Amino acid sequence: MKLELRGITKRFGDFTANDRIDLLVEPGTVHALLGENGAGKSTLMNVLFGLYDADEGEVLLDDAPVAFAGPGDAMAAGIGMVHQHFMLVHPFTVAENVMLGHEDVRGPAKLLDLDAARAKVREISDRFNFNVDPDAVVEDLPVGAQQRVEIIKALSRDASILILDEPTAVLTPQETDELLGIVKDLSDAGTSVVLITHKLREVQAVADTITVIRRGKVVGSAEPTASQEELASLMVGRAVSMRVDKAPAQPGETMLTVEGLTVVDEAEVVQLDGVSFEVKAGEILAIAGVQGNGQTELAEALIGVVTADAGQAVLDGDVITGKSIKEVLHSGIGFVPEDRTEDGIVATMTIANNLILDVHDKQPYAKGLALQPKVIADEARKHVEQFDVRATSIEQTAGSLSGGNQQKVVLARELSRPLKLLIASNPTRGLDVGSIEFVHKRIVAERDAGAAVIIVSAELDEVVALADRIAVMYHGRIVGIVPPETDRDTLGLMMAGAHQEEVA
Amino acid sequence: MSEQGQTTEAAPEEEAPQESRSRQVLREIAESSSMVVFMAIVASMLIGGLLIIFADEAVRESAVYFFSRPSDTFSAIGDALGSAYSAMFNGAVLNLQAESFAATIKPFTQTLTMATPLIFAGLGLGLGFRAGLFNIGAQGQLLMGATVGAYIGFAWDLPAGLHLLLAVLGCALGGALWGFIPGVLKAKRGAHEVIVTIMLNYVALYLVAWLLSLEAFQREGSDNPISPVVAETAQYPKILGVQFNLHLGFVVALLCAVGVWWLMERSTLGFRLRAVGANPSAARTAGMSIGAATIITMVIAGALAGLAGSAPVLGTQKFLTDSVAGSLGFDAITVALLGRSRPLGIVLAAILFGGLQASGPSLQVNAGLPVDIVVVIQALIVLFIAAPPLVRAMFRLPAPAHEKEVAA
Amino acid sequence: MTATVADAPAAPAPSTVIPPKKFGPSIALGVIALLSLVIFGIGTPSGASTTFVVARGTDFVHLPAYTAPSRLAAVLLSLVGLGLAGWAAYRANQHRKVGIWLPVVYGMAIMGALLTWAGAGRDATSIQITGLLTSSLFLAVPLVFGALAGTLCERSGIINIAIEGQLLAGAFLAALVASMVGNAYVGLIAAPVAGALVGLLLAIFATKYWVNQIVVGVVLNMLVVGLTSFFFSTVMTENGDLNQALGMAKLPIPLLSSIPILGPVLFNQNLLVYILYVTVAVLQVMLFKSRWGLRVRAVGEHPKAADTVGINVNRTRVRNTVLGGAIAGLGGAFFTVASGLAFGKEMTSGKGYIALAAMILGRWSPRGALAAALLFGFADALRAQLGAIGSPIPSQFLAMFPYIATIFAVAGLVGHARPPAAEGIPYKK
């Protein structure tokens, strides 16, 4: 089936997630939709799948316009979707999950015909070598097999267009290879596949056509023969360049030494694989890389939110790995978390309270058990002014602020203590240009005041603009540490896994 | 996305100039949650009125010939409602038929007496709600507090003052222990506090029933499961003289309300509890311990519920039975909800519900209505305030701007 | 990298997650069985005997009373408990679950040992086995209905704390309507209506207004207590005809009721008990084998997944909560028309909360609810028996048993209680 999207626009309030997007998927081909997280890929597919209503534009199947009121309509029309977060009922068996919503039944009591469901699962599983047992309970299956169940679910409903939303985000490299093989087989069998991803390697491996989306717009399309660096630069946007006024760094003593830091997650996937590096006082080390290559885990392991399974981090002579979050923070580390609303602020508390979340029990904010409201208010006013937080009052709840102002509150809090090290994860994500500039300025000021700074960013522009040195991460390892003058093609190659030496 | 917050905030301000000043004030009142609370109370009293009418024999009898003489029905309705509401007022606020000043104000002192345990327990539950914990166990915590306090009261022989102090502390301790169990099971084993506290209510009930079967707890010369009377040295003194039941426990409850306010709004501990309750993830990232907050909250909430037990055993009833808790633990849940978990709100809600309960005898004697109508009204009030959109729809109040967004 | 896997069968990646073996439950069971062995077994004076009466005068087949050496019986029963603990450990070692039958048989064995110990050497009294089992079943009736109601609601994702209120409402309306008509059986039709209304209120507040379901449940319980007590004290008291003690006759099933011991226990009961058997069986099959059940469980576990395959989440929840309320209401008829009693204030006295416990211990399945409720009913009946023979164990401790067992279960100390994943969370699109 041929799928065409014409001029799709989807807005959330003032934010335009999709801006007049056109897309054409030819029958039996693999079409990759490439872009960073937050570029608007998933929104587009949710529009297509009937989960969101588009504000403008139309969807055509085999040149006939269609309108879906919900996922049921989309499925009936032959569109299947494998969501990034699987839509599987964990305690159910594979067969039960596959049949759910379009069950074969027997008798007036509508008892389930599990044999029919099993047969269907086996038939599809055999056709594509999925090797899935219809009677296995889903929660006992590894993630890769769960994903194959999702694909069976879609195929059992005769999907002729299959949307895979970030399918490899949770897979091990081996599972990823298996999946890419399956995608090839599916398209060979005549199914159109839309592959949403930000991973270049996968795109090159299987895509017939590539469309790149950035900030809600189609910024280009490419042939699969395009080089990884071409794709990378399209994706992260070389055209817009950011400038940050900063003097050359004056690196001092080594402030942070990380040796062999390793994190293995609950699913026993190695997220951080023996990472070692140093950061000096008065310099900014930016961690670059395509998202999901261990950057988040690195920041969280340093702060103690996740426990390191091996290796250690030493801050100014003190080992900080193994300490509680509170101890780590008080040993002189400031942390700007990646997910501001989840980890950064308490939305229902006031700005003043959010400004002392980590120091509320320290002098001068508290004497013994007693908070000092006057000190807290005075300091809050000072911070709100210094950090240009646009609020009517410090008693306003943090949740009522715009994203940029929320981030300023977080920054004001984290920068208000004397810091040896500042760790900021994607500090400007979702912010407007003005706020971005402000945040960058404050980070540079912190460096100039003598702190070591680690910036994790998925935006290459931001990395280049801020960094004194750039560490590029790939698959949980640092593939190289290079100076900020390094040209973008080289950086792009490194982000795709090539080692520094190979590039050079 | 991030700019959304700003625009929704700004929107009402832009509309404002188009409205006349007075209209805007009216609208703000109508949108406020205190208006919803007030309307919820009105609606509940009205529904209570319907029940009274339905249950009234005169009304039912006259309704049989409604179409020939409707006026009889209406006057019967009027009589039923009139006597019910005036009985409530006379029983809970001021007795206007009374001869002396003391007798006139006695109903209100009775209301405050009834409100005392509700304030204590409501404070404990409210504290839990704000820290994100659903404590259904005030009933059991209250019972355990009453048990320890009563035991100290009747078994120990101590000088006045000290005896009372220890008995009151005993109440707090008993309740704290019963709060600690679900707290630690939640923090260490992830056991859901709702289920554990419900089950502990019954464990406490049977534990106390068993204790009361022991010699150490039995009143001499009685086969019934009731304890000896608490020594006078351990009783709350009556603060308005002997003709009123109002005792020092009420003052202690008010002090606790101030204490809880201070704890939650002005102390570092309360700050932590609020942060953990509102966003555990951010609290943890800021270095706070979720498990510790859970245990501490449950212990304090339990202690306050235990103190609620002091009101009957040291104040009004003055001895222990296994029914000493009545339905106080569940009433306290409604008090905490109506009071929006804030100390001042809880005190006011407790006085409202205390008044409803205090009006029971008067309803019975003067209007011939069972006290159960009070429970109905209480439950209805809480149901209504829990669903503001329902109340607004009933009275056609405008929805606040932010809720319109959600609805759209 | 190109896709090279096309021809080779894609072997499923080995499971990297190996759940830890959970021996805690079996250890707990073993320790208690050992204690039972020491206290009830060794602790029973040798030579004493316990008399068990297994038939009643009215039974079709007359069996003689059986006198067992107390010590041997208590030791044997404790060993059965120990054996079951060992089986549980063996299964845990293999990462396999044990059925709900195990804790139930185990509980009965240990309580049997206790009973033997308590009855030892009391020649004047004997243990009425049939009577004990009959009253166990009888006392379990409202618990089973209540637990089924809870199971139906929670399987669809709605927490039902209002079981107590549904039972009470059912008891009230059954008595009222039966008294008005003068026929106890009509009460069985009225009772579910009352429970369903309470369920409907719960469903509306939970799905339309997103009010915390625990709040609604607690407050609905209060509301029903208030309403029924109010009408009891006014309308019913003024007019005694509206609250009569009407009973339902026992309907012995021919042949089946003549089976020794179990016959009179299971098949000489009134209509409500037979309805109970059918309800448990039907719900067990429907919940786990039918399309309806599959969809309900999907809604309770992962509502979004259900929504993406075209299932209406909130409609399913409302229907289930109303149906659950109706079943609990039917259970409420137990207290009045099925027991031959008039309605009394707050006469359910917390049975709804024990039903909640039975639902948890029964792991949210009808069969499990039945087993757990029977265990609780047995504990309750045992309390009465021990009271009659004058036991050294305070009856209050037996009364606590269901609650403590439930606390152990939710704390993961005995068995693993996992509620439906989406329970209590309003579904908002």
Going from N- to C-terminal start, the domains of chain C cover: 24-125, 133-364
Does residue B266 lie within any of the structural domains?
yes
User: How many structural domains does chain B have?
Assistant: 1
Residues 6 or more apart whose Cβ sits within 8 Å of residue B74:
none
Distance CA(B373)–CA(C234), nearest Å, equals: 10
Amino acid occupying residue A93 = T
pLDDT value at residue C56: 59
B155 exposure class (CB count in 10 Å sphere: 0-12, 13-18, 19+): middle
Distance CA(A10)–CA(A19), nearest Å, equals: 7
Interface contact C226, partner B, CB < 8 A: yes
Of C234, C353, C411, the CB nearest to B370: C234
**Of C373, C354, C353, C376, nearest in space to C365 by CA:** C373
Whether residues A98 and A226 share a domain: the answer is: yes
Q: pLDDT tens digits, residue range A297-356?
A: 999 999 998 889 999 999 999 999 989 999 999 999 999 998 888 899 999 999 999 999
Whether residues A434 and A504 share a domain: the answer is: yes
Per the structure block, which two tokens stand in for C27?
A: 């250890």
**Cβ-defined contact of C298 to A109 (cutoff 8 Å):** no
Length of chain C: 429
Interface contact A393, partner C, CB < 8 A: no
Q: Directed axis angle between helix C129-155 and helix C351-361, to 10°?
A: 80
User: How many structural domains does chain A have?
Assistant: 3
**Over residues A47-53, mean pLDDT:** 85
**Of C267, C11, C242, C426, nearest in space to A177 by CA:** C11
pLDDT over 70 (residue B292):
yes
Report yes or no: A110 and C292 within 8 Å, Cβ to Cβ: yes
Q: Which chain B residue has its CA at the smallest distance from C360's CA? A: B195
**Cβ-defined contact of C226 to B378 (cutoff 8 Å):** yes
Q: What is the DSSP letter of A40?
A: S
Domain that holds residue A355: 340-417
Compute, in degrees rounded to 10, the torsion defined by CA atoms C299, C304, C310, C311. Answer: 20
**Cβ-defined contact of B330 to C407 (cutoff 8 Å):** no
pLDDT value at residue C15: 34
Average pLDDT value for chain C = 84
pLDDT value at residue A499: 74
Q: pLDDT tens digits, residue range A402-426?
A: 888 899 999 999 988 889 999 999 8
Residue A269: band (very low, low, confident or very high) from pLDDT cuts 50, 70, 90: confident
Whether residues A187 and A310 share a domain: the answer is: no
The last residue of a domain, from among A383, A417, A451: A417
pLDDT value at residue C161: 93
Whether residues A379 and A400 share a domain: the answer is: yes
User: Residue C96's CB: how many other CB atoms inside 10 A?
Assistant: 8
Of C216, C222, C396, the CB nearest to B330: C222
Distance from CA of B127 to the nearest CA of A (A): 16
Whether residues A407 and A435 share a domain: the answer is: no
Average pLDDT value for chain A = 87
pLDDT value at residue A50: 83
**Cβ-defined contact of A103 to C2 (cutoff 8 Å):** no
**Of C56, C22, C406, C82, nearest in space to C250 by CA:** C56
pLDDT value at residue B62: 81
Distance of CA B112 to the CA centre of its chain: 12
Distance CA(A54)–CA(B140), nearest Å, equals: 54
Whether residues A368 and A401 share a domain: the answer is: yes
Q: pLDDT tens digits, residue range B165-180?
A: 999 999 999 999 999 9
Q: pLDDT tens digits, residue range A207-240?
A: 999 998 888 888 888 888 887 777 777 776 644 4
pLDDT over 60 (residue B10):
no
Q: pLDDT tens digits, residue range B119-157?
A: 999 999 999 999 989 888 999 999 999 999 999 999 999
- Which of the residue ranges B9-13, B71-75, C101-105 would you say has the lowest mean pLDDT? B9-13
B63-76 as b/e: b if 16+ CB within 10 A: beeeeeeeebbeeb
**Cβ-defined contact of A185 to C6 (cutoff 8 Å):** yes
pLDDT value at residue B230: 92
Interface contact B260, partner A, CB < 8 A: no
CATH of the domain at A462: 3.40.50.300
**Cβ-defined contact of B282 to A357 (cutoff 8 Å):** yes
Residue ranges in chain C whose pLDDT is less than 70: 1-22, 24, 47, 54-64, 95, 97, 121-125, 390-391, 413-417, 429
Distance from CA of A249 to the nearest CA of C (A): 40
Contacts of B386 in chain C (CB under 8 A): 205, 209, 211-212, 215-216, 219
Report yes or no: A409 and A351 within 8 Å, Cβ to Cβ: yes
**Cβ-defined contact of C234 to B55 (cutoff 8 Å):** yes
Residues in C whose CB is inside 8 Å of some CB of A read: 1-6, 8-17, 285-286, 289-292, 294-295, 297-298, 301-302, 304-311, 421
Q: Which chain A residue has its CA at the smallest distance from C309's CA? A: A101
Per the structure block, which two tokens stand in for A169?
A: 């985000």
Whether residues A52 and A177 share a domain: the answer is: yes
Distance CA(B74)–CA(B78), nearest Å, equals: 6
pLDDT value at residue C415: 52
pLDDT value at residue C7: 34
**Cβ-defined contact of B275 to A346 (cutoff 8 Å):** yes
Report yes or no: A89 and C301 within 8 Å, Cβ to Cβ: yes
Q: pLDDT tens digits, residue range A59-117?
A: 999 999 998 888 888 888 999 999 888 899 999 999 999 999 889 999 888 999 999 99
Q: pLDDT tens digits, residue range A486-502?
A: 887 788 788 777 776 66
Q: pLDDT tens digits, residue range B343-353?
A: 999 999 999 99
* Percent of chain A residues topping a pLDDT of 90: 44
pTM: 0.84
pLDDT over 90 (residue B77):
no
The last residue of a domain, from among A210, A236, A262: A236
Distance CA(A56)–CA(A225), nearest Å, equals: 33
Contacts of B5 in chain A (CB under 8 A): 399-403
A501 exposure class (CB count in 10 Å sphere: 0-12, 13-18, 19+): exposed
Whether residues A356 and A476 share a domain: the answer is: no
Report yes or no: A68 and A74 within 8 Å, Cβ to Cβ: yes
Contacts of C286 in chain A (CB under 8 A): 109
pLDDT value at residue B248: 95
pLDDT value at residue C285: 95
Domain that holds residue B116: 112-353
pLDDT value at residue B4: 37
Whether residues A99 and A112 share a domain: the answer is: yes
ipTM reported for the complex, 2 dp = 0.85
* Percent of chain B residues topping a pLDDT of 90: 53
Whether residues A270 and A394 share a domain: the answer is: no
Sheet holding A310-315, edge to edge: A270-280, A254-264, A310-315, A318-319
Contacts of A432 in chain B (CB under 8 A): 2-3
Q: pLDDT tens digits, residue range A104-140?
A: 999 888 999 999 999 999 999 998 888 899 999 998 8
Q: pLDDT tens digits, residue range C83-124?
A: 888 888 888 777 676 777 777 788 888 888 887 777 776 666
A102, A334, B161 from B277: Cα distances, Å = 41, 23, 38
- Which of the residue ranges A17-21, A195-199, B48-52 would you say has the lowest mean pLDDT? A195-199
